[in-house]
């Protein structure tokens, strides 16, 4: 699967699921604990956390939504990521960016996260993120 920077794979229909909703609630609670520990939140911490959430959401959707197509799984993951985004980023966004928050969210969710999902799924499907099997060295023939 080739992932283009200019276009992402299509997004299907959202499938509401209690497991995904529970995972989103867990991520919100985890973020509250992280935020207290960090004190001041930076956009770097927010981005890192969102990418970790995205990876877990993809894995959860793949496990829970077995008989659902990839485009529908992507829609479900994007919806969950959007809820997490609203909870985390809106708190961390500087005041001078708040008037542009809607446009920023559309760009982040519909472009950045959508393409990130395509890339992560392609890596999982191709087995690139699993360690390669290394064969033991063959002794020279004598």
| Predicted local confidence at residue 83, as pLDDT | 92
Residue 81 placed within a domain: yes
Residue 142 placed within a domain: no
Nearest to 83 by CA among 44, 113, 63: 113
pLDDT in tens, 83-135: 999 998 877 788 888 888 888 888 888 888 888 888 888 888 777 654 344 44
Residue 59 placed within a domain: yes
Instruction: Give, in order, the Cα–Cα distances in Å from 23 to each of 56, 82, 136.
Output: 9, 13, 41
Residue 6 placed within a domain: no
Nearest to 105 by CA among 122, 88, 120, 127: 88
**CA gap 92, 39 in Å, rounded:** 11
Number of domains in the chain: 1
Per the structure, the complete domain to which residue 69 belongs is given by 18-126
Please, what is the average pLDDT of the chain? 79
Residue 33 placed within a domain: yes
What is the model's pTM? 0.76
pLDDT at 56 exceeding the cut of 50: yes
pLDDT at 4 exceeding the cut of 50: no
Is there a contact between 115 and 8 (Cβ–Cβ < 8 Å)? yes
Among 1-10, 38-47, 74-83, 119-128, the range scoring the smallest mean pLDDT is 1-10
Residue 131 placed within a domain: no
Give the torsion sign (CA, 32, 83, 103, 50).
positive
Rounded to an integer, what is the distance from CA 34 to the centroid of its chain?
Answer: 18
| Predicted local confidence at residue 135, as pLDDT | 47
């Amino acid at each position: 699967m080739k992932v283009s920077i200019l276009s992402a794979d299509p997004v299907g229909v959202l499938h509401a699921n209690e497991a995904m909703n529970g995972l989103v609630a867990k991520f919100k609670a985890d973020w509250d604990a992280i935020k207290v520990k960090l004190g001041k939140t930076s956009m770097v911490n927010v981005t890192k956390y969102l990418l970790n959430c995205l990876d877990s959401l993809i894995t959860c959707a793949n496990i829970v939504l077995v008989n659902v197509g990839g485009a529908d799984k992507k829609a479900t993951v994007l919806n969950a990521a959007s809820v997490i985004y609203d909870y985390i980023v809106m708190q961390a966004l500087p005041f001078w960016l708040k008037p542009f928050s809607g446009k920023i969210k559309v760009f982040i969710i519909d472009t950045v996260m959508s393409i990130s999902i395509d890339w992560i799924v392609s890596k999982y499907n191709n087995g690139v993120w699993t360690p390669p099997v290394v064969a033991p060295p063959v002794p020279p023939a004598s």
